[in-house]
Chains A and B, each alone.
Chain A
Amino acid sequence: MSELAFADAPPAPPREQRRHLLAVSDLTRADVERILDTAQALARTLDRDVKKLPALRGRTVVHLFYESSTRTLSSFELAAKRLSADTMSLRSSGSSVDKGESLKDTALTLGAYDPDVIVLRHPAIGAPQLVAGVTRAHVVNAGDGKHQHPTQALLDLFTMRAALGRLDGLHVAVVGDVLHSRVARSLVQALALVGARSTLVGPPTLIPRGIEAIGCEVSHEIETIADADVVYALRMQSERMQPGAAFVPSLREYAARWAITPERVRPGQVVMHPGPMNRGVEIDPRVADSDAALVTEQVRSGLVVRMAVLYDLLTVAATPAPVAAGVT
């Protein structure tokens, strides 16, 4: 795709064919590849002096965030602005949510402005489905509880493809607190979609029972990461250590057994982390600051991938229902 493709605002597909990005399962392999290619084309425009593109001029993107976020909100906001969309960001604090307004009513209120896209982050699983059901906007899930974070998965794929040149056949070891991680769930499904393998590694108490069904292997031994092309460390959330919810005996023991240390990283492997990092817990600072770490590349990818997602939702109509069985 050439840069020229973004020069003008393309016609929008009819709202009846609107698409959402609520979960990785909303995507086909072709969708993923198209979005990543668009992101790559967009990345080339970032080297210009004037970085703004007219592609979504006149469109409105609302960011509705019920959870704290630095990178996701900032990259979505910037992505929409770079594409010339009108944007509006609402956080739960300082809005009607403080006054006890329900998610449905907030969505109806914002929906009354007829935004093209609502980007939602919410602590409760199922919130994006609710918003998609009560507004006419395209809804992008920017994280719902422990469920899904599909744009994170896409930006991770984009980062891996840029660093390693391919996705098909890659082996990714996802290490740490899978149980509470929407990032892990989204990433494993996205990797399976593009023909990559994943292995979840961590203490048995933090690997959900039955997770193999989404298309991955499971190991409790940190040594198994040696076999991977990519080592993906998950954030170990300190709130998981509260009394009554102690999933591991201590962070100290966790770090000793499962932290990504220089000794455990094989030459040629790359290391990723969705941020924010707990240095010294799931990742050794020496690894975080090494050349093997792609953490800042992930943040950079976040911007172009989210630009690509917004562009894609607003320019590509939903594919009609497949006629033949097996075609998705």
Chain B
Amino acid sequence: MLACRNGRSASLVLEGRVVDPLEGIDECLRITVEQGVIVRLEPAGASRLVVAPAFVDPHVHLRTPGREDEETLATGTAAAAAGGYCAVLAMPNTDPVVDNASVLASLVERARAEALVPTGFLAAISKGQRGEELTEMGELADAGAAGFTDDGRPVASAGLMRRALQYATVAARPLALHEEEPSLSRDGQMHEGAVSAELGLAGWPAVAESAMVERDLALAAYEQRPLHIMHVSARQSVAAIRAAQERGLAVTAEVTPHHLCLTDDAVRSLDPNTKMNPPLRSEEHRLALVEALRDGTIACIATDHAPHARHEKEAPFEEAPFGVTGLETAFSALHTRLVAPGVLPLATLLERMSAGPARAFGLPLPRVAVGERANLVQLDLDAKWTVSEHAFRSRSVNSWLLGETLRGRVVRTVADGREVHAA
């Protein structure tokens, strides 16, 4: 399901405070990797570096095919490597849309030639993401689809959504949903609230997401099928997901770093790098997301890395496209804004960036254990660095963190037994 270019499996040694919540490890160790496999764990002296299972991003846009000027498999996965990721899942809203096996197969082939980090591809739920007819999910699953989503757009028709839930049984892959009731979010530019009222920007209300989440949870419960809810932004969506989980429904959810760190107050700047979909919401929503991440209702952090051409983002707010990049800053941003101030334990952040998303998509769980392929990230929690557009590996620079000084940095990434990043 994951593909990347061949490389030499490394033999290397990493030392540091090893934090692996899955294995219950939090101690200073020396990890010896031979030919890509962890062969020894030995006690080591104190270190200011942390070593953890590498990250998994279940939601990135690699813009290939169609917008290779914004990102390619090579640049996007180089950005992932720099951000500490050992696996990423790419969205199918490309041009053409990944809605048939031949497009998917050509992407998998390109990933084998270009991708630095193992990359999986989600395929569309509906043909052309038009929300009318299902894609050939069975054949797409056979061709290696990591899941199905119409991300970027909702599945507006409840009838089609129900069919997708039923038919996904054949494909045996997760359905990942972009939740947005289009007749409520129509023309919406930002969260509907006091800030949108003041700025005059058309509102994209929280209820446009939560109403759709509730619809789809009801359908999933009726069909007794699992579901993954993407980039949750609203407090009411969190409540609905939590209630469904308590009723025993297999529903997982993800949240982005920007929704965990920013509120709609940031939009007052009218900086197009504060424009994303779903939009930044108010503090009560942000706090609900942080709480859901802490208690596990939301088990995945997803960057929704959305590269955009510079000239398209350099436009008036209302004309600029939605989305920001995130692969290279996710850990540092969340460490700075949530872990360092004591809001979220480090182990929780590491788990939600690695095992959480891997489990939601049925991917191998990165772990620090003898005999496992090495998927490791080494972090310097004290390193301070300033986000600059010149340092990005991504082909695009539309980051919400430009000019910010962050605390904590990825210094080394080992993905599938190969060293893919060393600062």
Q: Report whether chain A binds chain B.
A: yes
Could you list which residues of chain A lie within 8 angstroms of chain B, going by C-beta atoms? 102-104, 122-127, 129-130, 144-148, 180-182, 185, 208-214, 244
CB-CB nearest 4 A-B residue pairs: A126-B317, A146-B200, A124-B316, A213-B194
Cβ A182 vs Cβ B200 within 8 A: yes
Cβ A103 vs Cβ B315 within 8 A: yes
12 further A-B contacts with Cβ under 8 Å, apart from A126-B270, A208-B200, are A124-B315, A125-B199, A129-B270, A129-B316, A130-B315, A146-B201, A147-B201, A208-B203, A210-B197, A211-B197, A211-B198, A213-B198
Within B247-292, the residues touching A (CB, 8 Å) are 269-270, 272
Cβ B318 vs Cβ A124 within 8 A: yes
Within B307-364, the residues touching A (CB, 8 Å) are 311, 314-320
Cβ B198 vs Cβ A126 within 8 A: no
A214 neighbours in B (Cβ, 8 Å): 194, 197-198
User: How many angstroms from the CA of A125 to the CA of B203 in the assembled complex?
Assistant: 13
Ordered by A's residue number, 5 sampled pairs between the chains whose C-beta atoms are within 8 Å are A104-B315, A126-B272, A130-B315, A185-B200, A209-B193
Q: Closest B-chain residue to A66, C-beta based?
A: B316
B237 at interface by CB-CB < 8 Å: no
Distance between B149 CB and nearest chain A CB, rounded to angstroms: 27
Q: Closest A-chain residue to B269, C-beta based?
A: A129
B 216-234 to A, binary, CB cutoff 8 A, 1 in contact else 0: 0000000000000000000
Distance between A184 CB and nearest chain B CB, rounded to angstroms: 9
A144 neighbours in B (Cβ, 8 Å): 316
Q: How large is the interface on B (under 10, 10 to 19, 20 to 34, 35 or more residues)?
A: 20 to 34
Cβ B316 vs Cβ A125 within 8 A: yes
B269 neighbours in A (Cβ, 8 Å): 129
B304 at interface by CB-CB < 8 Å: no
B57 neighbours in A (Cβ, 8 Å): none
B196 at interface by CB-CB < 8 Å: yes
Cβ B316 vs Cβ A210 within 8 A: no
Distance between A296 CB and nearest chain B CB, rounded to angstroms: 27
User: How many angstroms from the CA of A185 to the CA of B201 in the assembled complex?
Assistant: 11
User: How many angstroms from the CA of A180 to the CA of B311 in the assembled complex?
Assistant: 28
B20 at interface by CB-CB < 8 Å: no
Given contacts A102-B311, A129-B270, contact A208 B318 (CB under 8 A): no
Cβ A185 vs Cβ B198 within 8 A: yes
Distance between A17 CB and nearest chain B CB, rounded to angstroms: 21
Cβ A102 vs Cβ B193 within 8 A: no
Find B193's partner among A122, A124, A210 (CB 8 Å cutoff): A210
B192 at interface by CB-CB < 8 Å: yes
Distance between B304 CB and nearest chain A CB, rounded to angstroms: 22
Given contacts A125-B199, A126-B270, contact A145 B311 (CB under 8 A): no
Within B157-191, the residues touching A (CB, 8 Å) are 186, 189
User: How many angstroms from the CA of A208 to the CA of B200 in the assembled complex?
Assistant: 8
B315 neighbours in A (Cβ, 8 Å): 102-104, 124, 130
Given contacts A147-B199, A147-B201, contact A124 B317 (CB under 8 A): yes
Q: Closest B-chain residue to A188, C-beta based?
A: B198
Q: Closest B-chain residue to A104, C-beta based?
A: B314
User: How many angstroms from the CA of A313 to the CA of B72 in the assembled complex?
Assistant: 47
B196 neighbours in A (Cβ, 8 Å): 208, 210
B272 neighbours in A (Cβ, 8 Å): 126
Could you list which residues of chain B lie within 8 angstroms of chain A, going by C-beta atoms? 186, 189, 192-203, 205, 269-270, 272, 311, 314-320
Q: Closest B-chain residue to A130, C-beta based?
A: B316
User: How many angstroms from the CA of A314 to the CA of B311 in the assembled complex?
Assistant: 31
A129 neighbours in B (Cβ, 8 Å): 269-270, 316-317
B198 neighbours in A (Cβ, 8 Å): 185, 211, 213-214
Distance between A236 CB and nearest chain B CB, rounded to angstroms: 17
Q: Closest A-chain residue to B192, C-beta based?
A: A209
User: How many angstroms from the CA of A272 to the CA of B200 in the assembled complex?
Assistant: 22
A123 neighbours in B (Cβ, 8 Å): 318
A102 neighbours in B (Cβ, 8 Å): 311, 314-315
User: How many angstroms from the CA of A209 to the CA of B200 in the assembled complex?
Assistant: 11
Q: Closest A-chain residue to B200, C-beta based?
A: A146
B194 neighbours in A (Cβ, 8 Å): 210-214
Cβ A147 vs Cβ B197 within 8 A: no
User: How many angstroms from the CA of A317 to the CA of B205 in the assembled complex?
Assistant: 41
Cβ B311 vs Cβ A208 within 8 A: no
Cβ B193 vs Cβ A127 within 8 A: no
Cβ A127 vs Cβ B316 within 8 A: yes
A209 neighbours in B (Cβ, 8 Å): 192-193, 197, 203, 205
User: How many angstroms from the CA of A122 to the CA of B318 in the assembled complex?
Assistant: 11
Cβ A148 vs Cβ B317 within 8 A: no
A213 neighbours in B (Cβ, 8 Å): 194, 197-198
User: How many angstroms from the CA of A10 to the CA of B46 in the assembled complex?
Assistant: 68
Distance between B191 CB and nearest chain A CB, rounded to angstroms: 10
Cβ B319 vs Cβ A124 within 8 A: yes
Distance between B188 CB and nearest chain A CB, rounded to angstroms: 12
Distance between A116 CB and nearest chain B CB, rounded to angstroms: 23
Find A125's partner among B186, B205, B270 (CB 8 Å cutoff): B270
Cβ B318 vs Cβ A145 within 8 A: yes
User: How many angstroms from the CA of A213 to the CA of B320 in the assembled complex?
Assistant: 26
B320 neighbours in A (Cβ, 8 Å): 126
Cβ A147 vs Cβ B200 within 8 A: yes
Q: Closest A-chain residue to B189, C-beta based?
A: A125
A103 neighbours in B (Cβ, 8 Å): 315-316
User: How many angstroms from the CA of A146 to the CA of B199 in the assembled complex?
Assistant: 8
Cβ B318 vs Cβ A125 within 8 A: yes
Cβ A145 vs Cβ B314 within 8 A: no
User: How many angstroms from the CA of A209 to the CA of B203 in the assembled complex?
Assistant: 9
Distance between A2 CB and nearest chain B CB, rounded to angstroms: 39
User: How many angstroms from the CA of A41 to the CA of B201 in the assembled complex?
Assistant: 37
B186 neighbours in A (Cβ, 8 Å): 244
Distance between B211 CB and nearest chain A CB, rounded to angstroms: 16
Cβ A125 vs Cβ B317 within 8 A: yes
User: How many angstroms from the CA of A145 to the CA of B187 in the assembled complex?
Assistant: 13
Q: Closest A-chain residue to B191, C-beta based?
A: A210
Distance between B185 CB and nearest chain A CB, rounded to angstroms: 13
User: How many angstroms from the CA of A181 to the CA of B199 in the assembled complex?
Assistant: 10
B319 neighbours in A (Cβ, 8 Å): 124, 126
Indicate the member of B193, B195, B319 with the most A CB atoms within 10 Å. Answer: B319
Distance between A191 CB and nearest chain B CB, rounded to angstroms: 14
Cβ B197 vs Cβ A148 within 8 A: no
Distance between A266 CB and nearest chain B CB, rounded to angstroms: 29
